[in-house]
Each structure stands twice: as structure tokens, then as C-alpha cells.
């Protein structure tokens, strides 16, 4: 599959189920999550969240081989992110 086809299928999979949010700041969201954890004295959880460097969920695609034109399915993963901890 060439780069252009891959990009078109990826964009189609994303635009079908997701809406772009321009004002979201992942680093600030992480900071806002840490504050109530500290107030609740959940220091172990708080330190786990702070230690993880990835601020965003990861995205990858799987091809729907059984469909015509083989569209992509967008898959979101929490692996290796602070969101998995909370």
C-alpha cells in the first residue's frame, strides 16, 4: 500500500468516529488529574502518573479485510500512558 492510500484510509477511519479538538492540552490534563490524587493522599498512584512520559493515547489501525476497498479500523490504546493508571 502506498503512502497516499494509507493516509487517505487513515483519515477516513478517524473522521468517521472522532472530532478534532484544537484546545486540548494533554500535559495540562495530566496535571489536572494529579491534583485530586494528591489531595486524596494517593501518593503511589500519583507518582506512577507523574513518572510516565507519554501524555496521549496511542492510535493505530487495523485493516478490515472482509470489507470492500479494505477500510481501516481506528484502534486507541492506553498502553504505556498515564491514563491506564487511573
Tens of pLDDT, residues 14-35 = 888 888 888 888 888 888 989 9
How far are the Cα atoms of 9, 10, 13, 24, 26 from residue 19, in angstroms, in the given order?
16, 14, 11, 12, 16
Domain boundaries, the chain: 3-84
pTM of the entire predicted model: 0.61
pLDDT by residue (tens digit) across 46-86? 898 888 888 888 888 888 878 887 788 888 888 877 787 87
Q: What is the pLDDT of residue 35?
A: 92
Amino acid at each position: 500500500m502506498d503512502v497516499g492510500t494509507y493516509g487517505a484510509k487513515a483519515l477516513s477511519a478517524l473522521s468517521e468516529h472522532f472530532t478534532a479538538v484544537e484546545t486540548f492540552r494533554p500535559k495540562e490534563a495530566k496535571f489536572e488529574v494529579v491534583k485530586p490524587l494528591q489531595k486524596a493522599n494517593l501518593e503511589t498512584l500519583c507518582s506512577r502518573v507523574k513518572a510516565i512520559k507519554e501524555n496521549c493515547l496511542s492510535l493505530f489501525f487495523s485493516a478490515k479485510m472482509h470489507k470492500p476497498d479494505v477500510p481501516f479500523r481506528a484502534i486507541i490504546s492506553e498502553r504505556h500512558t498515564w491514563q491506564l493508571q487511573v
